[in-house]
Amino acid sequence: IAESAAEGQVLQCTACRVTDFNGCSLNSSQRSALSLMPESKLARDLADW
């Protein structure tokens, strides 16, 4: 996904955990899924922001 993502796009991560480790850390598991520019109103609102 990193190679196809561009600045300003929304990346959605489901079943991930955010922790505080020298800043902010995102941890994923086998259940996690990443979506680049998902089709949802929330993603459109975030991209427009």
- Please tell me the distance from the alpha carbon of residue 25 to that of residue 49, in angstroms, as a whole number: 23
Nearest to 37 by CA among 17, 9, 15: 9
The sign of the CA dihedral 28, 25, 42, 44 is: negative
- Cα–Cα distance between 22 and 10 in angstroms, integer? 24
Q: Quick one: pLDDT at residue 37?
A: 92
pLDDT of residue 23: 87
Return the CA Rg of the chain.
Answer: 12
Q: Report yes or no on 23 lying in a domain.
A: yes
Identify the helix (H) or strand (E) that includes residue 36.
strand 33-36
Question: What are 1-49's pLDDT values in tens digits?
Answer: 778 888 889 999 999 999 988 888 989 999 999 999 999 999 999 999 9
The pLDDT, as a whole number, for residue 5 is: 86
Residue 19's domain comprises 11-48
Inside any domain, residue 29: yes
The domain total for the chain is 1
The reported pLDDT for the residue numbered 4 is 84
Whether the model pTM is above 0.75: no
